[in-house]
Structures are given as C-alpha cells and as structure tokens.
Structure 1
Amino acid sequence: MSAGRPAYLYAEDPVEINAGRPKARLAVSNTGDRAVQVGSHYHFFEVNRVLEFDRAQAYGMHLDLPAGTAVRFEPGDTREVDLVDYAGHRRLVGFSGLVDGGLNSADTRARALRRAAELGFAGARPTGAAAEPSAAGPSAPELSAAVEPGVES
C-alpha cells in the first residue's frame, strides 16, 4: 500500500452486526390505509401508531438491519421483523416523544407505555405491561446496574 493513498482492507470472515445483543422477532400489522416505512435505527416502540404489534416487547429496540436501510409495511400487510436492543448509554430523545429519557429506568418505561396507550398507538397496553420484563432481554433493574456511574437513566 502506498503512503497517503486511501485503501480498503477486507477481512476474510463476514461481519455480523449486533452480535451478542438481546434480540426479538415480532409480527407487525399495518392497520392504516397508507404504507409505513421504518428506518433501521428508529426506536421501534415509537413507530407509527397504525402499526400493530406488542409494543412492550419492542421497548428499547430497533430493527436488526444495517444502518441506512428500512422496512416498508404496505396497508393491510402483516410481516415479521427482527429487533435488537439499543447499546451504549440507552438514552433516547425525540422519535414520537414517548420515551425522552433513559431506557433502563422502570419509571420511564411505565410512563412511555401509559402514554402510548393514551395516544392510541396500536398494540400499547399500559395495565401490567410496565411490570413485565421484555422477553427480548433483561428487565429494567438488571440493565440499570450496568449503566456507567454518573450517567442518568
């Protein structure tokens, strides 16, 4: 390789994205009259309210796809998607405004589930859902123990 010239270095083995992180597979139905497209890193819990699925199970997860890609749901269609837990500090702000805080906080989770149900997000059930850990990964108290000191959850 010549000095100063850019080059790509390729490995022999394929790259596995999101290796070792908790994952889930959910059936998602578009109950609306328009197509809905969801990007790879959008908080799936907060996607368009006409998409019906178990929102409690999707809490803290995004599509298990390469960055920059998306899934499209046509009106009336049902399809399965693979989700993966967010990594890093697990603090989300924006999206549909349901979370706006640390994913590891049980209070934030309960508030988000309640708000999603109040706002008519299909598949959102606040009663008892906040107390149930996600089938995809550890419960909020288990995760909060792994948060770095000084990082608000």
Structure 2
Amino acid sequence: MYPVFIRDVPAHRLVGLAHLGPYPQIGAVFEKLGQRLGDAAAWPAVRGMVMVSYSDPETTPEAELQSFAAAMLDPAHPCPEGLEERSLAAGRYAVLELTGPFEELPRAWGWLYGEGIPGLGEAAAPAPCFEVYLSDPSTTAPGDLRTDLYAPLA
C-alpha cells in the first residue's frame, strides 16, 4: 500500500522542544522551535525537521504521549538558547515514504508496523521512531506534503 524499504541511518544531532500530549498537537511546538531557530540565526545550519515519538499511541493515553519536535543541526553550530539537545540513534530502519496530508500519518504508521515491517521479513525494535518532514507545510498543499517515517528494526 505504501513504498517501504530498509535504510542504514547514521546518528544525528537534534535540537528541539519536548511535547507531551496528542501527536497532532505538536504543530504549535514546531512553531516555537522555528521561532527560536530564527532568533538564533540557526536556520542555515538546519539539515532537516524531525518529530521523534517515544510513546506507542496504541497503548499510551493521548495526554501521556511523549514526543520531541526537532531540527537536525550541523554539529559545528551551538545549540540555540532555550532548546534541548538530543541524539537520534544510528541503526537499521524501515522507511515508509508518504505523500499526503499529515492526517494520513496514523494510518501510515499502523500499516508500517502491521504490514510493512513484517512484509520485509523484519521485526520492529523497541526504540523511538521518527518522522522526517521533506516539505514545508506553509508552502505545500496538504496532498503534496512528503514525509518519511522511520521505524527501528531489531
């Protein structure tokens, strides 16, 4: 149903803001992140925008979902004031390429874990997954948004 493949991913340095609550509400956190990156003149050092998910929405109440709105930042650039630094682990990931509105993300994640990873003959690892946003939602129509979903493999 979706294109999915395996990719070896290097570790990435992230800077961002933690979010607690429903995943679809993280947009406001990304707005704050963007403002802080702009205030610090850090945008030229940004290599991508990412949401890291630390909780399983199938087993965690919405109000307790933990995530991190982040920018992949060039290692030579200092962490802007007011942002937290974290790392994204290197490893093997199943990657699903999604084109479409953000409202499609829960369905795509469900398919990736339920059919995509088993269809590759793999098993998911009990580690955080993440989304990489390849389009700017302020300038891209919802149906044309591109997002890569990364699920760690055992």
Question: Of Structure 1 and Structure 2, which has the larger fraction of its residues in strand?
Answer: 2
Where relative contact order (Cα < 8 A, 6+ residues apart) is larger, the structure is 2
TM-score of the superposed pair, with normalisation by structure 1: 0.23
Question: Which entry has the higher C-alpha Rg, 1 or 2?
Answer: 1
TM-score, normalised with respect to structure 2? 0.23
Is the helix fraction higher in 1 or 2? 2
